[in-house]
Amino acid sequence: MLQKVLQYEMLSFGAEMNLTAMDERAARSGGASTLTETLHERLRHDIILGVLPPAAKLKLEKLSKAYDVSVNTLRETLSRLAADGLVVAEGQKGFAVLPVSAEDLREITEMRQLLECHALKQSIAAADLDWEARVVGAYHKLSKVEELVEAEPEIYGEPWERANQEFHEALISNCRSRWLRLYLRAMYDHSRRYRMLSLKTKPFPRSQSAAEHRLILDAAIGRSAEQATRLLADHILKAAQLAEPSAR
C-alpha cells in the first residue's frame, strides 16, 4: 500500500515510476533525507577507500543498479559530493571522481598542518585526565593494528586507517572550535584517500609510523604543545610524501 501511494505521488510530479529497494526502505524508515544521507556516506566511503578510483566516470545508470537507488537520488548525492570536493561535475558529461595529483596533495597537506596543529595546541591547552585517557586509549589501539598492517595491508589497511583517524581525533578532541574541527575533517578525508591508494601499491612503513605516533603521544600527554605540534606537522608531511601519486 505504501509503495502504491509513493508511486502515485511521484507520478504526479513527473518523477520515476519505479522505486528501488533502498528507496523503499528509506521511505519506510524516514524518507528521502535518510536515503540521501545513507547513500552519501556509502559513496564517500567508497571514494576515500579507492573502491571508486580517481578520475573514474560515475555513470548514473550503472551506479543506480550497483547502489540500489534511483537515478534522481544518485544525482542529488553526487552533487553533494561535488560540493565536498570528492566528485567533479563535468557539465553535460555527468560526474567523475576527483583525480589525484601531487599539487592537490601538497595543498591538502599544508591545510592539514595549519588546521590540525592549531587544533592540537588548543586541545593541549585544555588538557585534562579524560582527554589524556582518550589519547592513550586511541594510541594503544593504533599500535596494535600497526603491528599487523605492514604484512597484510589489503586486510588491515582499512582498520589501521580507522585507528589512525581515531588517534588524530583524540589528540584534538579538547579543541572547542566546531568550525576548525569541521574543516579539518574535510582535509583529513582528502588526505586519507591518498593514503589508502598508496597502501594498495607501496609497503607500509610500520616502524616509522609507530615511532612518530609514539613521539607525538609523549609530547602531547606531557603537555608540551610546541614539541607536539612540531612533531605532528612533520608526521603529516612525511605521510604525504609517502602517498604522493608520482611515486607510485
Q: For CATH 1.10.10.10, list the domain ranges present in the chain.
A: 2-97
Confidence band of 32 (pLDDT split at 50, 70, 90): low
Q: Is the pLDDT of residue 64 over 80?
A: yes
Mean per-residue pLDDT over the chain, rounded: 84
Q: What is the mean pLDDT of residues 22-38?
A: 58
Cβ burial 202-228 (10 Å sphere, 16+ → b, else e): eebebeebeebbebbbebbbeeebeeb
- More reliable by pLDDT, 201 or 192: 192
**Model confidence, pTM:** 0.79
Q: What is the mean pLDDT of residues 213-218?
A: 98
- At 246 the pLDDT is 55
Q: Is the pLDDT of residue 81 over 80?
A: yes
Confidence band of 24 (pLDDT split at 50, 70, 90): very low
- Condensed to tens digits (0 to 9), the pLDDT of residues 115-157 reads 999 999 999 999 999 999 999 999 999 999 988 887 787 788 8
Using CA atoms, how far apart are residues 73 and 68, in angstroms rounded to an integer?
A: 10
* Reduced DSSP (H G I as helix, E B as strand, rest coil) percent helix, strand, coil of the chain, to 5: 75, 5, 20
Q: Which residues contact 71 (CB under 8 A, 6 or more apart)?
A: 16, 60, 61, 64
Domain 2-97, CATH? 1.10.10.10
Domain 102-247, CATH? 1.20.120.530
- At 33 the pLDDT is 66
CB of 88 within 8 A of CB of 53? no
CB of 247 within 8 A of CB of 201? no
Q: Is the pLDDT of residue 65 over 60?
A: yes
pLDDT-wise least confident of 31-40, 47-56, 188-197, 222-231? 31-40
Q: What is the mean pLDDT of residues 157-183?
A: 93
